């Protein structure tokens, strides 16, 4: 078969990884270094004030309601979410909503590690969402707002009862700053800077509603809690965690980098503008998908498609007929070609997901780079198929 001509235009920034994600346009180490408290204690006045400023700016840009607490905690979004689960679950029944690998991991923690007595796992396949009508009014609800590894997101929070008895635990790491948050339906929300902000890894953000604080102060789980999970002392919330006195030593470089990213969000027009950028990127990629016969979005329902971690599957009959291992080998060949050409880095699907591509479309990506990428995707597919 004849191969299409090699595209001549490459993305200016080939970073399309879904975590850590691309830095903001115009990012430089020098810009971060100008804010960096090198060799300083995070307890000193200047560094502590910078941590507190990052907390305040996150709350402001995300329109977090008055009375909610925002804190920086260890171990990225994973640490933040597990911190909440281990500290608060067990007071009432729990419904775990699973439709991708991270949600499945939380369900494993709930059933096999925490061994919760009344825990329902409500599951759906990659690319789909579970049946929300199965959620119980009296249960705590744990779910991912945006399935980073499946590309499926909740279209809204309407399915959560306003007068619910339980708490909602929302893993929103690849959603915040790209998708709206209905704070009235959220009690615990976690994320990390390494997603839509393009920040450094290793630190998580934990946001608690007054209802979540009440749970922490009224419920003591029958399990040992490591130091980095403890948010109360003497039955009262440790307020310092949410004012800049972190539980353990943070990276002041990561703090400075987060401050830089938040300033960029503010400069471009706030969270609404960041959402517009992500929407434009996802629309550009989906427009190419709609016009291309060998690929489809892994999520069939357009309203449930992520605008950040977009997951694609190959539907060309010759490739779709291959077994899973062969399909993954085919995609790996495409990814390797694109990497070698410095066109796209790290766009293979998640290791536990179906074979396919995963392309980050969050706010730090420029739409022009998505548009430059798509002809290369066609080229890589044609080259890999010619080798079969």
Q: What is the CATH number of domain 270-386?
A: 3.90.1150.10
Nearest to 285 by CA among 297, 275, 272: 297
* H helix runs in the chain, sequence order: 29-33, 45-61, 76-88, 101-108, 210-218, 252-268, 271-290, 317-320, 324-340, 367-386
Q: What does the pLDDT read at residue 1? A: 54
Nearest to 286 by CA among 153, 173, 149, 151: 151
Predicted structure pTM score:
0.97
Which residues touch 198 (CB under 8 Å, ≥6 apart)? 20, 21, 22, 23, 24, 27, 261, 362, 364
pLDDT in single tens digits along all 388 residues of the chain: 567 789 999 999 999 999 999 999 999 999 999 999 999 999 999 999 999 999 999 999 999 999 999 999 999 999 999 999 999 999 999 999 999 999 999 999 999 999 999 999 999 999 999 999 999 999 999 999 999 999 999 999 999 999 999 999 999 999 999 999 999 999 999 999 999 999 999 999 999 999 999 999 999 999 999 999 999 999 999 999 999 999 999 999 999 999 999 999 999 999 999 999 999 999 999 999 999 999 999 999 999 999 999 999 999 999 999 999 999 999 999 999 999 999 999 999 999 999 999 999 999 999 999 999 999 999 999 999 999 8
Q: Is 58 exposed, middle or buried (0-12, 13-18, 19+ CB in 10 A)?
A: buried
Burial 70-97 (b: 16+ CB within 10 A, else e): bbbbbbbbbbbbbbbbbbbbbebbbbbb
DSSP 8-state symbol, 109: I
Q: Are 16 and 211 in contact (CB under 8 A)?
A: no
> For domain 29-266, which CATH number applies: 3.30.420.40, 3.50.50.60, 3.30.450.20, 3.40.640.10?
3.40.640.10
- Domain coordinates in residue numbering, the chain: 29-266, 270-386
């Amino acid at each position: 078969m004849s191969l299409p001509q090699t595209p001549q235009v490459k993305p200016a920034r080939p970073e399309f990884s879904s975590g850590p994600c691309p830095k903001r346009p115009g990012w430089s180490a020098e810009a971060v270094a100008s804010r960096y408290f090198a060799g300083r204690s995070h307890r000193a006045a200047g560094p502590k004030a910078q941590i507190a400023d990052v907390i305040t700016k996150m709350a402001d840009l995300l329109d977090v309601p008055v009375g909610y607490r925002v804190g920086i905690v260890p171990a990225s979004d994973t640490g933040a979410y597990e911190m909440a689960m281990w500290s608060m679950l067990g007071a009432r029944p729990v419904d775990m909503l699973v439709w991708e690998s991270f949600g499945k991991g939380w369900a494993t923690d709930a059933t096999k590690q925490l061994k919760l007595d009344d825990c329902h796992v409500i599951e759906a396949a990659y690319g789909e969402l579970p049946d929300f009508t199965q959620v119980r009014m009296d249960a705590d609800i744990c779910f991912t707002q945006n399935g980073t590894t499946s590309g499926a997101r909740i279209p809204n929070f309407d399915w959560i009862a306003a007068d619910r008895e339980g708490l909602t635990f929302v893993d929103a790491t690849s959603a915040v700053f790209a998708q709206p948050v209905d704070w009235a339906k959220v009690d615990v929300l976690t994320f990390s800077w390494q997603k839509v902000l393009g920040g450094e890894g290793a630190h998580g953000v934990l946001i608690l509603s007054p209802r979540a604080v009440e749970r922490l102060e009224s419920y003591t789980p029958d399990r040992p809690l490591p130091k980095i999970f403890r948010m109360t002392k003497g039955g009262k919330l440790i307020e310092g965690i949410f004012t800049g006195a972190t539980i353990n030593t943070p990276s002041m470089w990561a703090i400075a980098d987060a401050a830089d990213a938040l300033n960029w969000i503010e400069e471009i027009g706030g969270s609404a503008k960041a959402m517009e950028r992500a929407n434009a990127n996802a629309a550009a990629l989906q427009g190419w998908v709609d016009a291309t016969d060998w690929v489809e979005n892994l999520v069939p329902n357009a309203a449930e498609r992520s605008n950040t971690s977009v997951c694609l599957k190959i539907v060309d009959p010759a490739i779709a007929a291959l077994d899973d291992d062969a399909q993954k080998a085919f995609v790996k060949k495409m990814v390797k070609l694109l990497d070698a050409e410095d066109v796209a880095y790290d766009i293979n699907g998640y290791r536990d997901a179906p074979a396919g591509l995963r392309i980050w479309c969050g706010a730090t990506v420029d739409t022009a780079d998505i548009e430059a990428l798509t002809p290369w995707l066609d080229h890589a597919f044609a080259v890999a198929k010619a080798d079969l």
